[in-house]
């Protein structure tokens, strides 16, 4: 179940946790190594090979790789342990019917969770929030929570074993306990705005509000009320099932769009027999994305995307996963400095804080499930991860005003089972968020002086509402000289550049036609941007990538374990090409 947090008070479990790096996967298989039992070797008459109270400590949230040197390239099983006190009143309230959930905001990769020695969950749904209910009978005054994070790269996973970013493992996002009333609103998302009329004051719109409640049994009568006070809007309906879709008709609103990130406070209240049992507050925005031929329209106006592409890696010479909201804001500030109106959050789902920030700043967002390069589509485990990730990602993002499109893949090709597996993702996207365009990023061969995505058959192409093209003219192929007259073919669907660029290691200079220096990086950008200007009907472009990022695929002397295609270096120092992009965006 996706447990949305909204404005709920939670008990944060962030901070220092006991940690043990189990590179052989030897623990948890027999008594002497059953970390989750939390036994004390000093008090046991049989040898125990672990002691959670003597483990080193590590910070949560955070990847383990950048916290201690010996964990830098560790890709095994990380055991986390934390002892938790629950007060008498807390346990009593759960015994009386309140609910208690353990929520992991995001892990890389697989996770097994034990509560007081009992296995309560096993999941393979990376980078997305996971919640597990704790029953009253499982609660004691002193409890032991043990979480094993499995960060191995594996063939059946998405991504599989080889990918161009760093495998930061662990509890990379927050951990919390969430108390809920017996019946509560698990998730709510406003979506599917339809503009009925545009006028001076804004627009008249219709829309949908999907609300999922938990615990509401037939025994009582439940009602759901939506109020948007700034619009003097109120609607109250009888609840007939766990999931309800409220129709909102004829609202007079100011639309949300870049440069005008208009948000409204919405309150949802759940009543049982006329009594309030739960209530949440959300910020919602009204915008409509449409596809008209090869154009993308935002609020009925043609949209040109000025993109900034990311990895979820914080600024600083060590890199690592963002540890707090400031880390996230620093990264998003770069897009605003560039004059960008769109963020490509590549290649996996990011922490929910990114979406809330982009709602408030008026930045459109592309979110993406990590179906990247080679995938074992026919493997049932892979299909499950694809479907679960697609479902959860859209449950998380569909209610955010900033969402432009949901991406199902990056640079994948025809392999057995691809269509069937990707149909699972497509159906999840459309079933949960019918009005948001589906997309993916494709490569295209450079032939006869141009790039044409539609020159290659892709069984998933029919699912695309909007198409992304990754091309590296001047860097991988073709050489810079051939870019001067090159072009990009816009086929039957809206197309925009989701990646282009070149490496520019900081503090290097040299001839434009010689790779691996800041001058040639700039020259390639100038040629690329000129090509985009020549391309009729292109819907925008996105440099790859805003910041140099760690990747063990990058081993030459210029790279030293970093992909150096950033517009800024790991610490955020701007390269000359940053200004090139900023100016190009300012002209649009
Ligand atoms: C690919 C891929 C990126 C990668 C980039 C590069 O297009 O999508 O993940 O980092 O190329 O080669 O730098």
Closest CA to 478 of 526, 518, 529, 444: 444
Q: Whose CA is nearest to atom 3 of ligand 1?
A: 164
Q: Which residues contact 448 (CB under 8 A, 6 or more apart)?
A: none
Instruction: Give per-residue pLDDT as tens, 51-65.
Output: 999 999 999 999 999
| E strand or H helix at 92 | helix 88-95
Closest CA to 81 of 42, 31, 37: 37
Distance from CA of residue 587 to its chain's centroid?
30
Alpha helices in 246-379 (DSSP H): 325-338, 352-361
Specify the pLDDT at position 518: 98
Q: Give the atom of ligand 1 at the shortest distance from the alpha carbon of 565.
A: 13
Give one DSSP letter per residue of 399-428, joined into a string. Answer: T-TTEEEEEEEES----TTHHHHHHHHHHH
Q: Is the pTM of this model over 0.85?
A: yes
Q: Are 408 and 467 in contact (CB under 8 A)?
A: no
470 Cα–ligand 1 center, Å: 8
Closest CA to 175 of 67, 99, 61, 57: 61
Token readout for 495 is 């197309």
58 Cα–ligand 1 center, Å: 31
From 409, 470, 521, 542, the mutation candidate for ligand 1 (largest count of ligand atoms within 8 A of CB) is 470
Specify the pLDDT at position 133: 98
Q: Which residues contact 380 (CB under 8 A, 6 or more apart)?
A: none
Query: What is the phi/psi pair of residue 160, to 5°?
Result: -85, -135
Q: Which residues contact 580 (CB under 8 A, 6 or more apart)?
A: 522, 525, 526, 529
In the chain, what percentage of residues exceed pLDDT 70?
Answer: 100
| E strand or H helix at 260 | strand 260-261
Residue 308 has pLDDT above 70, yes or no: yes
145 Cα–ligand 1 center, Å: 38
Instruction: Give per-residue pLDDT as tens, 263-286.
Output: 999 999 999 999 999 999 999 999
Q: Pocket residues for ligand 1 (CB within 6 Å)?
A: 164, 347, 410-411, 470, 499, 544, 563, 565
Residue 588 confidence class, pLDDT cut points 50, 70, 90: confident
From 375, 563, 564, the mutation candidate for ligand 1 (largest count of ligand atoms within 8 A of CB) is 563
Residue 453 has pLDDT above 80, yes or no: yes
Query: What is the phi/psi pair of residue 438, to 5°?
Result: -100, 145
Residue for token digits 């003597």? 54
Q: Mean of the pLDDT values across residues 374-398?
A: 98
Instruction: Give per-residue pLDDT as tens, 237-270.
Output: 999 889 999 999 999 999 999 999 999 999 999 9
Distances (CA, A) of 525 to 311, 486, 506, 572: 20, 14, 16, 19
- Tell me whether residue 97 is exposed, middle or buried, using C-beta atoms within 10 angstroms of its C-beta: 0 to 12, 13 to 18, 19 or more: exposed
Question: How far is Cα 439 from Cα 466, in angstroms, rounded to an integer?
Answer: 5
Instruction: Give per-residue pLDDT as tens, 77-111.
Output: 999 999 999 999 999 999 999 999 999 999 999 99
Q: Whose CA is nearest to atom 10 of ligand 1?
A: 164
347 Cα–ligand 1 center, Å: 10
Specify the pLDDT at position 218: 66
Q: Are 261 and 215 in contact (CB under 8 A)?
A: no
373 Cα–ligand 1 center, Å: 10
102 Cα–ligand 1 center, Å: 36
Q: Are 339 and 585 in contact (CB under 8 A)?
A: yes
Q: Whose CA is nearest to atom 9 of ligand 1?
A: 164
From 409, 499, 504, 541, the mutation candidate for ligand 1 (largest count of ligand atoms within 8 A of CB) is 499
Q: Whose CA is nearest to atom 6 of ligand 1?
A: 164
349 Cα–ligand 1 center, Å: 17
Q: Which residues contact 239 (CB under 8 A, 6 or more apart)?
A: 213, 216, 222, 223, 224, 270
Instruction: Give per-residue pLDDT as tens, 560-579.
Output: 999 999 999 999 999 999 99
Question: How far is Cα 29 from Cα 43, in angstroms, rounded to an integer?
Answer: 21
Instruction: Give per-residue pLDDT as tens, 481-524.
Output: 999 999 999 999 999 999 999 999 999 999 999 999 999 999 99
Tell me if residue 359 falls in helix, strand or coil. helix
| Mean pLDDT over each residue of the chain, to the nearest integer | 97
536 Cα–ligand 1 center, Å: 25
Specify the pLDDT at position 240: 84
């Amino acid at each position: 179940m996706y447990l949305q947090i909204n404005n709920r008070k939670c008990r944060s479990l962030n901070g220092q946790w006991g940690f043990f790096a189990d590179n052989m996967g030897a623990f948890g298989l027999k008594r002497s190594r059953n970390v989750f039992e939390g036994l004390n070797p000093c008090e046991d008459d049989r040898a125990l090979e672990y002691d959670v109270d003597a483990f080193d400590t590590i910070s949560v949230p955070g990847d383990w790789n950048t916290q201690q040197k010996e964990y830098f390239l560790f890709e095994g099983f990380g055991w986390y342990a934390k002892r938790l006190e629950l007060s008498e009143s807390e346990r009593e309230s759960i015994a009386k019917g309140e609910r208690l959930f353990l929520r992991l905001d995001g892990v890389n990769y697989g996770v097994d969770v034990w509560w007081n020695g009992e296995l309560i969950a096993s999941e393979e749904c990376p980078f997305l929030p996971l919640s597990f209910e704790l029953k009253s009978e499982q609660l004691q005054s002193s409890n032991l929570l043990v979480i094993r994070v499995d960060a191995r790269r594996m063939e059946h996973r998405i991504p599989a074993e080889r990918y161009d970013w760093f495998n930061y493992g662990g509890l990379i996002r927050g951990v919390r306990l969430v108390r809920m009333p017996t019946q509560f609103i698990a998730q709510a998302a406003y979506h599917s705005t339809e503009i009925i009329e545009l006028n001076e004051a804004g627009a008249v719109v219709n829309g949908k509000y999907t609300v999922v409640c938990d615990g509401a049994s037939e025994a009582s009568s439940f009602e759901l009320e939506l109020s948007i006070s700034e619009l003097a809007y109120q609607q109250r309906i009888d609840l007939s099932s766990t999931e309800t879709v409220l129709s909102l008709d004829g609202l007079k609103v100011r639309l949300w769009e870049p440069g005008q990130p208009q948000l409204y406070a919405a309150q949802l209240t759940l009543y049982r027999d006329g009594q309030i049992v739960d209530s949440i507050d959300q910020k919602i925005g009204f915008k409509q994305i449409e596809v008209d031929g090869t154009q993308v329209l935002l609020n009925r106006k043609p949209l040109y995307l000025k993109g900034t592409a990311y990895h979820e890696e914080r600024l600083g010479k060590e890199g690592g996963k963002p540890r707090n909201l400031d880390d996230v804001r620093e990264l998003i500030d770069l897009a605003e400095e560039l004059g960008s109106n769109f963020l490509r959050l590549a290649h996996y789902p990011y922490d929910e804080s990114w979406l809330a920030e982009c709602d408030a700043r008026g930045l459109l967002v592309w979110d993406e499930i990590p179906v990247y390069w080679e995938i074992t589509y026919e493997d049932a485990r892979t299909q499950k991860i694809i479907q679960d990730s697609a479902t959860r990602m859209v449950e998380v993002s569909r209610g955010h005003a900033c969402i432009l499109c949901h991406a199902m893949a990056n640079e994948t090709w025809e392999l057995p089972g691809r269509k069937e597996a990707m149909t699972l993702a497509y159906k999840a996207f459309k079933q949960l968020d019918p009005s948001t365009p589906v997309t993916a990023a494709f490569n295209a061969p450079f032939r006869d002086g141009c790039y044409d995505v539609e020159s290659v058959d892709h069984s998933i192409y029919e699912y695309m509402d909007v198409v992304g093209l990754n091309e590296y003219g001047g860097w991988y192929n073709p050489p810079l000289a051939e870019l001067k007259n090159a072009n990009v073919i816009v086929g039957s669907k809206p197309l925009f550049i989701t990646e282009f660029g070149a490496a520019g290691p900081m503090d290097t200079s040299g001839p434009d036609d010689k790779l691996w220096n800041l001058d040639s990086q700039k020259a390639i950008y100038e040629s690329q941007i000129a090509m985009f200007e020549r391309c009729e009907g292109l819907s925008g472009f996105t440099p790859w990538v805003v910041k140099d990022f760690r990747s063990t695929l990058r081993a030459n002397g210029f790279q030293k374990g970093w992909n150096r295609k950033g517009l800024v270096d790991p610490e955020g120092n701007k390269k000359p090409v940053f200004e090139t992009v900023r100016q190009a965006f300012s002209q649009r």
